Amino acid sequence: MDNQLQPPHRIVVGIDGSEHADRALAWALAEARAHGATLDVIAAWTLPAEWAQGYNPEWVVDIESMGQRTADEARESVVSVYGSEELPDWIHISAIEGPASTVLLERAEDADLVVVGSRGRGGITRLILGSVSNAVIHHAPCPAVVVPAEDHH
């Protein structure tokens, strides 16, 4: 029996447009490139909390447009971190409606690795993970990596 670790063939990374998510994306891109893996970039989105209060005609935001805006922002993040408008075919970008931790855990079901960023707050609190990274490391169906925030000290 071969106990060697196999390189990942499919990596899932969660992004939300934040600096710590961009760091996780950069790490996941490098890992996918180094191992010839497919990279699934996931941007989860949910309806605004205000919508639970009932209809307001000023909230003329179409659900489809919210998903498209999330997808567009996700692509902008990937292009920025990757460094080119021309993305290779091994990078897949998805905007999926739902809570981020739920969406990431579902997408990681058949992945070899799931990657998220840490919240990256300073001092002692930097040891505390955000709710999404906490859920992912405790419930991931595959190995998980939490990319730490850059230490400025």
Q: What is the pLDDT of residues 76-130, one digit of tens each?
A: 999 999 999 999 999 999 999 999 999 999 999 999 999 999 874 444 444 455 7
Asked: is 10-49+59-147 a CATH 3.90.76.10 domain? The reply is no
Where does the pLDDT of residue 133 fall: very low under 50, low under 70, confident under 90, or very high at 90 and above?
confident
Would you list the domain boundaries of the chain? 10-49+59-147
What's the confidence (pLDDT) of residue 73? 96
Where does the pLDDT of residue 4 fall: very low under 50, low under 70, confident under 90, or very high at 90 and above?
low
Q: Is this model's pTM higher than 0.75 or not?
A: yes
In Å, how far are 59, 65, 87, 97, 115 from 146, measured between CA atoms? 36, 30, 24, 22, 6
In Å, how far are 6, 14, 24, 39 from 90, measured between CA atoms? 18, 16, 17, 6
Paired sense of beta strands 91-97 and 144-147, if any: unpaired
Count of beta carbons in the 10 Å neighbourhood of residue 3: 4
pLDDT at position 8 over 80? no
**pLDDT tens per residue across span 39-78:** 999 999 987 666 656 665 555 566 678 889 999 999 999 9
Where does the pLDDT of residue 28 fall: very low under 50, low under 70, confident under 90, or very high at 90 and above?
very high
pLDDT at position 134 over 80? yes
What's the confidence (pLDDT) of residue 10? 96
Distance CA 33, CA 97 (A): 28
